[in-house]
Amino acid sequence: MRVLVVEDEPDLRRQVKRALSESGYSVDEAPDGEEGEFLGDTEPYDAVVLDLGLPKVDGITVLNHWRAAGRDMPVLILTARDSWNEKVAGFDAGADDYLTKPFHMEELLARVRALIRRSAGHAAPTLECGPVLLDTRTGKVTNDGATVSLTAHEFKVLTYFMHHQGRVVSQTELIEHIYDQDFDRDSNTIEVFIARLRKKLLPELIKTHRGRGYSMNAPGESP
């Protein structure tokens, strides 16, 4: 899953990026509203963390432009303490949630997890596909109750599939959502990650649709 962080305070931006990266997300960052708006317009994100008090272009304007352009990724806005008018303006512009500074990083991570789950149609924190369970709070993956050890990229691929079960996902879509902007992307590695997941899980969980991509389905189900 891929997240954009738009925050002008360098230390806070680095802290948020590090926390998200350590939780298994691919993260892009922008130091001002102008760059943030451009990235949100041109790159696919599963969620955005957006500060409202940004240089060049303020966060409300950025969010208004995104929504007017049909960009529907979930957005968590960051507001100053006691700025209730900013919160109202943020929701009216199309924000999905807010967090007041200063905040605990665990709360930000929990809110991002919830936004991504809900946008993909999942309410529970544990995602299930046949015998495979993924606890989005801890990142633990089990298969028939046994813990499965995954590499960072295997985990990212599985997480995307688990959030989008029953839908055919193209190789391009996977690449766009598991790698950040600066990563040297190689489409051939996607096939390697999927082959490894099939060995570690049930081979039939991830199906190949020739010329279209892949889908993850519980045994007996079809996309």
CATH of 2-119, one of 3.30.70.20, 3.30.365.10, 3.40.50.2300, 3.30.230.10: 3.40.50.2300
Own/partner contacts of 107-110, CB < 8 Å, gap of 24 or more, are 108/16, 108/19, 108/49, 108/76, 109/19, 109/20, 109/23, 110/137
- The tokens of 132 are what? 């495979």
13-53 per-position pLDDT tens digit: 999 999 999 999 999 999 999 999 999 999 999 999 999 99
The 10 Å Cβ neighbour count of residue 135 is: 13
Strand order in 141-143's β-sheet? 126-129, 132-135, 141-143, 146-147
Q: Is the pLDDT of residue 185 over 80?
A: no
Distance CA 150, CA 53 (A): 39
The predicted structure's pLDDT at residue 179: 87
Name the least confident of 67-71, 131-135, 187-191: 187-191
The predicted structure's pLDDT at residue 45: 97
Average pLDDT, the chain: 92
Distance CA 122, CA 133 (A): 13
Q: Tell me, what DSSP letter sits at residue 169?
A: B
Residue spans per domain, the chain = 2-119, 126-216
Share of the chain above pLDDT 90, in %: 84
Q: Counting beta carbons within 10 angstroms of the beta carbon of residue 173, is it exposed (0 to 12), middle (13 to 18) or buried (19 or more)?
A: middle
Give rounded-to-5 percent helix, strand, coil for the chain.
45, 20, 35
Task: Specify the higher pLDDT residue, 184 or 67.
Answer: 67
Distance CA 75, CA 62 (A): 11
Does 2-119 match 126-216 in CATH topology? Answer: no
Can you give the pTM of this predicted structure?
A: 0.91
pLDDT mean over 157-176: 94
Angle between helices 84-93 and 59-68 (to 10 degrees): 20
The predicted structure's pLDDT at residue 85: 85
The predicted structure's pLDDT at residue 223: 62
pLDDT mean over 155-172: 94
User: Any idea which fold 126-216 has?
Assistant: Arc Repressor Mutant, subunit A (1.10.10)
pLDDT mean over 64-84: 91
Q: Which residues contact 31 (CB under 8 A, 6 or more apart)?
A: 7, 8, 10, 13, 55
